Amino acid sequence: MSLLLTDFTLVTRVSNGDERAFRILFHRYRNKLFRFSLRYVKSTAAAEDILQDTFLKIWEQRQSLQPELNFEAYLFRISRNQIFNEFKKSAYHAAFEQFVSQNAAEHQQTESEVVSNDYQEILQSALERLPPQRRQIFQLSRMEGLSHEEIAQQLNISKNTIKVQINKALKSIRQSLEMNSEVSVPVFLLVSRMLYTPASELFFLLE
């Protein structure tokens, strides 16, 4: 049945918040986009991240979608931008690793302590801006290591609610990090690593 639905029809429905139409589009283009990204980034993990980010962007901007335009071309344009961002990020990480390797061993402990303190301050500041329930869910998941099922039982809420709240918390913390021009490179990388989101959390809509 989904093959009979045109992109125009599906995009129109997605723009109105239709999650089923979104799932159909995802499955329709998933493999093609993944192969396209993999051709350039040469990493299945990076290609999967680009795929997830591309469709997440589609969903977040669904109200501004224009069904009359070529959706496939639009999708690949977003994917190309994500690939470009991946290249920039890889170059950034390589430069940072070179910087770290050139530091004297006697300074490593002191620098590590400074980075740790800065990291804790930035993270705590970002957490304080979250709504109480979202902050609690995030702390139980990321800091205490509880599974979604354990959190659901403890707070008496659904696992889907937990996934939504964690995703929103991650987005808010990332935005706080990006807006803080005083964040040093080591702290930025440390927070970014902690904020890595598994694909299963970003795409709970596809379950």
Looking at residue 155, which CATH number applies to its domain?
Answer: 1.10.10.10
pTM greater than 0.75 (yes/no): no
123-141: pLDDT as tens digits:
777 788 889 999 899 888 8
Regarding whether 191 and 132 lie in a shared domain, the answer is: yes
Regarding whether 171 and 119 lie in a shared domain, the answer is: yes
Of the given ranges (32-36, 149-153, 168-172), which has the lowest mean pLDDT?
168-172
Rounded Cα distance between 131 and 135, Å, is 6
* pLDDT band with cut points at 50, 70 and 90 for residue 197: very low
Answer whether residue 99 shows pLDDT above 70.
no
Regarding whether 197 and 132 lie in a shared domain, the answer is: yes
Integer-rounded Cα radius of gyration of the chain: 20
Q: Do the domain assignments include residue 197?
A: yes
**CATH number, domain containing residue 29:** 1.10.1740.10
Q: Do the domain assignments include residue 169?
A: yes
Answer whether residue 73 shows pLDDT above 80.
yes
Regarding whether 85 and 119 lie in a shared domain, the answer is: no
Regarding whether 72 and 19 lie in a shared domain, the answer is: yes
Q: What pLDDT is recorded for position 178?
A: 58
DSSP secondary structure code for residue 67 in this structure? T
Q: What pLDDT is recorded for position 2?
A: 53
Residue 203's Cβ-side half-sphere holds a number of Cα atoms within 13 Å equal to 22
Q: Do the domain assignments include residue 177?
A: yes
- Helix 148-155, helix 159-179: angle, nearest 10: 110
Query: Cα–Cα–Cα angle for 12, 70, 78, nearest 5°?
Result: 95
Number of domains in the chain: 2
The larger pLDDT score, comparing residue 102 to residue 29, is at 29
User: Which domain covers residue 168, as residue numbers?
Assistant: 115-206
3-54: pLDDT as tens digits:
578 999 999 999 998 888 888 998 899 899 989 888 888 888 888 888 888 9
Regarding whether 131 and 58 lie in a shared domain, the answer is: no
Regarding whether 154 and 71 lie in a shared domain, the answer is: no
Regarding whether 202 and 119 lie in a shared domain, the answer is: yes
Regarding whether 66 and 124 lie in a shared domain, the answer is: no
Last residue of one domain, picked from the residues 90, 105, 137: 90
Q: What pLDDT is recorded for position 65?
A: 92
Q: What share of the chain in percent tops pLDDT 70?
A: 66
Cα dihedral: 74, 165, 19, 200 (round 10): 70
Q: Do the domain assignments include residue 105?
A: no
